[in-house]
Structure 1
């Protein structure tokens, strides 16, 4: 079968479509025939070597690429219950140190990393949910805000930020969205009550809207200390990338959120998609062999939705 791998770090040119052995589902695992796999910023960081430099990924001869998958189960391993061959599913490959990722014709995942795909949407759309949806939901859990409190979301027009806005509103939070000026209509449609352009001085702009500052920030755009300045003393701050957490000034609880697979939460997110409460956004779908072009497009920025590869 074909799979995207790297054997050395560098630019998009190091990405290879390799012929590799078919993976076999082991104890508690399923093998999925991949119909769609999303390209995310973590893939670019893996390919460039940034994750290895940060101590998150050991160097190895072959590294697989890809976290998000949508497809159909074609094999279940011993001990798997609740999932059957032919089931349409979504899943998350949340381990970095693997020879094969989700950007392949087939992938093996632990059964507890897989959930039924949302009904009524294509596999290309469904593949955009696991990594970004789980990241937003789990970060919100970590912030632990009460109904009616205010949440600052940077990068609110992006994949993680957009999910965060909708999920926060569903929890009864007041959302202050930070995005480009042209994105204000989009983030307001997603449910943001207040808007601040990303070119503004966040601390001053947010305090004009919310005296004292926001109760918390979910920093999807890696604004760092600028976003921290918009949080009131004693608040909370969720950073989403390695090195993105600023110092915990003014008693603010600062933490790095590290994504983990969670089939139960993924099922709940899929139900929100089915109910129309969570919006899936696809910038473009591309054949698997155009993975290098997808990396270049993502690195160029400006996308409103994810790029999705179709084996």
Structure 2
């Protein structure tokens, strides 16, 4: 089968399309025939070697790339009863130190990392769900905000930020969305009650003008760090979505890092929301597997609304 791997860390050119043996599903595992694989910033960080340099993964001879999977169950290993061949699924491959990732014709994942694909949704759109929606829901869980509380979402028009706005609104939270001026209508359609343009010189002051005293919590999808911390009230909560972007928890604010992990039951609930049209799945474009490097080049330029998707 064909798969994209990295042998030597570097730029997009480090992505190699190779022929490898089809992986085998072991105990508690499922082999998925990949129909679509999302392209995410973590893929670029893996490819470049930044995650290895940060001690988040070891240096390997061959490193698989890709976290988001949408496809069809091809085979199940011993002990797997909840999935069967032919079933459409989505999943999160959250292991970094592996030879094969989601950028492949077949991928093996633990059964607990999979969920039924959203009914009525094509695989390309379904592939944008796992990593970004799970990151958003796990961030909101860590904030522990009660219904009716206020929450700031930075980068609200991005893949994670958009899901965070929608999921927060579904929880009965009142959302302040920070995004580019041209995205105001979009993030308000996601359920944001208030909008702050990214061009606002003082984010904290702009938010506090809308919510006197500050918001109860923040999901910092744009990695603003301390600039967004000032918008949170004393003893509130702040979720940082990348290691190194977390600010010091001044004023008794509880600062947490979101290290996303596979969660089949949570992904199943998100899949059901997507099937019902309550989560918006956005695709920025599709490319064949052989053009993974081109996808990474486009990702690096920024400005995407939604995710690029590779189609094996």
**TM-score band (shorter)?**
over 0.9
Taking the aligned partners of 2:55 and 2:256, their CA distance within structure 1 comes to 18
Query: Which residue is 2:305 aligned to?
Result: 304
Deviations for 1:138-171, whole angstroms, at most 9, x for unmatched residues? 1100001011110000000000000000000000
Alignment of 1:162-173 (within 5 A): 162-173=162-173
Deviation at 1:307, TM superposition (A): 0.1
Matching of residues 29-178 of structure 1 within 5 Å: 29-178=29-178
SS in 2 for 1:124: helix
| CA offsets 1:100-144 (integer angstroms, 9 cap, x no match) | 001100000000001100011100000000000100001100001
3-state secondary structure, aligned to 1:271 = helix
Residue 218 (structure 1) shift: 0.2
Which residue matches 1:13? 13
Output aligned runs, 1:153-302, within 5 Å.
153-200=153-200, 201-302=202-303
**1:203 Cα deviation (Å)?**
0.8
In 2, the alpha carbon distance for the partners of 1:185 and 1:260 equals 31
Deviation at 1:8, TM superposition (A): 0.7
Using the TM superposition, give the Cα deviation of residue 244 of structure 1 relative to its aligned residue in structure 2, in angstroms: 1.3
Cα deviations across residues 173-209 of structure 1 (Å, max 9, x unaligned)?
A: 0000000011001000111000001121111000100
The 3-state SS of whatever aligns with 1:136 is helix
Q: TM-score, normalised by structure 1?
A: 0.99
Count of aligned residue pairs for this structure pair: 311
Deviations 1:257-301 (A, max 9, x none): 111111100000011011111110000011011111100111101
Quote the Cα distance in structure 1 between the aligned partners of 2:290 and 2:243.
29
TM-superposed CA distance for 1:82, in Å, is 1.3
Q: Which segments of 5 or more consecutive residues in structure 1 lack a partner in the other structure?
A: none
SS in 2 for 1:98: coil
- Distance (whole Å) between structure 2 residues aligned to residue 196 and residue 296 of structure 1: 30
Cα offset for 1:302? 0.5
**How far 1:236 sits from its partner (Å)?**
0.3
CA distance in 1, matches of 2:245, 2:81: 39
Alpha-carbon separation, structure 1, partners of 2:166 and 2:274 = 11
Return the offset for 1:242.
1.3
Q: Which runs of 5+ in 2 are unaligned?
A: none
What's the CA shift for 1:34?
0.3
Q: Cα RMSD (Å) of the superposition? A: 0.6
Does the CA-based 8 Å contact 1:54-1:242 persist in structure 2?
no
| Structure 1 runs of 4+ with >4 Å offset | none
Pairwise CA distance, 1:21: 1.1
The CA distance in 2 between the partners of 1:41 and 1:274, in whole Å, is 25
Give the Cα separation in 2 of the matches to 1:237 and 1:212: 15
